[in-house]
Amino acid sequence: MGLTAGTLRVALIDRDGAFVKTLANRLDAAGWQHRLLGGIVPLDELVAMKLNALVLDMSVLPPEEAWPYLERVCGMLPGLGVVVCTNESTVAQRVRGLRLGADDWITKPSHPEEVMARIEAVVRRRRRSTAEPERGPLVVGELEVRGDQYQAFVAGRSADLTRREFELLQALADAQGSVIERGEIYRRVWGYEMAHGDRSVDVFIRKLRIKLERLSPGWTYIHTHFGIGYRFDPEPVDGSAAEPPAGPPAAAGQGSAVAAVEPAR
């Protein structure tokens, strides 16, 4: 069972003293970080907490608020595990909740151990992707992306990236060679669904490009794929020389010719 990195971050939106208390004890015992919230919390605050899962008691809110809230949370935070927990419920309610995006629905009273096991199950499912690709210092082109410093360097010189810029860079770099759609980038960096018409990604791409260029002219790192998103792939600015150094054989390869910075027809 060594899979689940020991410590999960969980938030409870509940008011059932007894339930919360015993659960909290267990959580502490297991070394999970947790936080008790009394009621609705704005989505961006939830994002800021960097939670793995949220346990929500629907009864802390009147139904006409609870359902929409559940829907918004599930819809906007695709990376968050959501476990609904109620005293009683009908089949219809459970089905509705699950269809709205909840990952599990537990009926109280319920043993804390089972609640935890279900949270684990939910998180495990979503984690598989997050396959933590060790933030080992990553070197691409003449750029060095250091996750432990939240910075990128070239020959020891810092790119002076802000937090967002760095996260964006890292998200791009982690995808090594494949195109990532804007929405996906937004999801990975900002943590929730991108609103229609949001241009944040573009603007930050630009900021990033400027800083990278200033630091490492002679290389192009970020390629635009019209109508799709961006692709990170270090490429000597010239373009005549073919082979970029360390080429992940399967993927990008010399396919770097892809329609981005090319003058085209």
Partner DNA sequence: TGACCTGTGAAAATCCGGTTACCGGAGCCG
Partner DNA sequence: CGGCTCCGGTAACCGGATTTTCACAGGTCA
By CB under 7 A, which span of 50-58, 74-82, 196-204, 241-249 interacts with DNA?
A: 196-204
- 163 touches DNA by CB under 7 A: yes
Contact residues toward a second copy (CB under 8 A) are 1, 78, 81, 91, 94-95, 98-99, 101-104, 111, 113-114, 117-118, 120-122, 124-132, 134, 146, 148-151, 153, 156-158, 160, 162-164, 177-179, 225-228, 231, 251, 253-255, 257-259, 262, 264
- 156 touches DNA by CB under 7 A: no
Measuring CA to CA, which residue among 32, 92, 80 is closest to residue 56?
80
CB atoms within 10 A of CB 147: 18
202 binds, among DNA, a second copy, none (CB under 5 to 8 A by kind): DNA
E strands, the chain, are 9-13, 33-37, 53-56, 81-86, 104-107, 138-140, 143-146, 151-154, 157-158, 179-181, 219-225, 229-236
Residue selected from 198, 236, 244, 247 as contacting DNA according to rule CB under 7 A? 198
Q: Report the half-sphere exposure of 44 (CA within 13 A, side-chain side).
A: 2
Measuring CA to CA, which residue among 16, 19, 21, 14 is closest to residue 41?
14
Measuring CA to CA, which residue among 109, 110, 102, 105 is closest to residue 77?
102
Nearer to DNA by Cβ, of 228 and 237: the residue is 228
- 204 touches DNA by CB under 7 A: yes
188 binds, among a second copy, DNA, none (CB under 5 to 8 A by kind): none
- Give least dist CB 39 to DNA, A: 20
Nearer to a second copy by Cβ, of 141 and 147: the residue is 147
Nearer to DNA by Cβ, of 31 and 197: the residue is 197
Beta bridge partners of 33: 9
By CB under 7 A, which span of 62-70, 88-96, 191-199, 233-241 interacts with DNA?
A: 191-199
Tokens of 130: 């997050």
CA–CA dist 158, 151 (Å, integer): 7
By CB under 7 A, which span of 104-112, 114-122, 136-144, 195-203 interacts with DNA?
A: 195-203
- 227 touches DNA by CB under 7 A: yes
Tokens of 247: 């080429």
- Give least dist CB 145 to DNA, A: 16
Three-state DSSP string of 202-216:
HHHHHHHHHHHHHHC
Tokens of 240: 């005549």
Residue selected from 164, 179, 183, 244 as contacting DNA according to rule CB under 7 A? 164
Residue selected from 16, 24, 224, 247 as contacting DNA according to rule CB under 7 A? 224
CB atoms within 10 A of CB 145: 24
Q: Which residues bind DNA (CB under 7 A)?
A: 162-165, 182, 190, 195, 197-200, 202-206, 209, 224, 226-229, 259, 264
